[in-house]
Amino acid sequence: MNAVILDAASLGPDIDLTPLRERVDSLTVHAQSSTTDARERLAGARVAIVNKVELDASTLEALPELKLICVLATGTNNIDMAAAERLGIAVKNVSAYGTASVAQHTLMLMLALANRLPLYQRDVAEGRWGQSAFFCLMDHDTLQLEGKHLVIVGQGVLGSQVARLAEAFSMQVTFAARPGNEADDSRPSLAELGPATDIISLHCPLSDATRHLVNANLLASLKPGALLINCARGGIIDESAALSALRQGRLGGLGVDVLPEEPPRGGHPLIDALAERLNLIVTPHNAWITPEARQKIVALTADNLRDWQAE
């Protein structure tokens, strides 16, 4: 069985592909590929291993020997799933590989925003500490997490792990109802929880029900010092409305690891706003990238290969 990896560089140079090599007869590795490249590089292959390369219907139709697509991620939006099913091509993804990594990153954002780290780091860099009349600077009020109310949207493996870490700080944690299913969910909706919330952390998929879930109306209902963290998908928050609230002091802090378009080749208002004196953190969708998490992707993909072979 021959397999081809189209974009191995997306896993990083330090990842051991041995578990994959042990499951196939031959493994051809490409660092990066375009959709056009994929047609040529997958010719004759039975297995495609891909992270973000788009495999559309016309590409799949041009690969009659392809029987399996292993996605090195949870999302399969880069695969034409309907075409794959029609052509008898199995698609297997991986999940829960980055739980510890993303939960850690979420808490990092929460702690940094609560302690106004972006603001104090700027003050120190600009020499304001050396100009202080006292031994310290306390120009920006910080937030003690103990006793504060954290609302999490998404009670899956990741959201649950974030809850456990937050409880270690003696925070009160509430899970919001699943967006779009509030009528049949015993949990309160995010809108209902908003006024009593100190921190919102998003860990839900992007869908019609969650697009701009955090919008101007919800932001207006929050406490002025509330923190907002998005380590889920860009577009779940209305980034423009959130930035406006932050600038106007109606939001205490904003931390995002995701943007609607990635990479943001045309820039983004949140990136531009990093030059301003705001309690704002933007990280480049790297919450998941610990070596342990990336190596786990390989292990889970090898498991997918094994399970498919056994079918």
Q: Which residues are catalytic?
A: 233, 262, 285
- 68-71 sheet: strands from edge to edge: 26-29, 2-5, 47-50, 68-71, 90-92
User: Residues 230, 82: contact at Cβ < 8 Å?
Assistant: no
Q: Which residue has the tokens 């937050």?
A: 166
C-alpha distances (whole Å) from 160 to each of 87, 115, 167, 219, 264 are 37, 24, 11, 24, 30
Give the angle 102-104-105 at the CA atoms, nearest 5°.
Answer: 65
CB-CB neighbours of 90 under 10 Å: 15
3-state secondary structure of 116: coil
Comparing C-alpha atoms, which of 255, 248, 265 is closest to residue 286? Answer: 255
How far, rounded to the nearest angstrom, does the alpha carbon of residue 111 sit from its chain's CA centroid?
18
Interatomic CA distance for residues 87 and 162, integer angstroms = 40
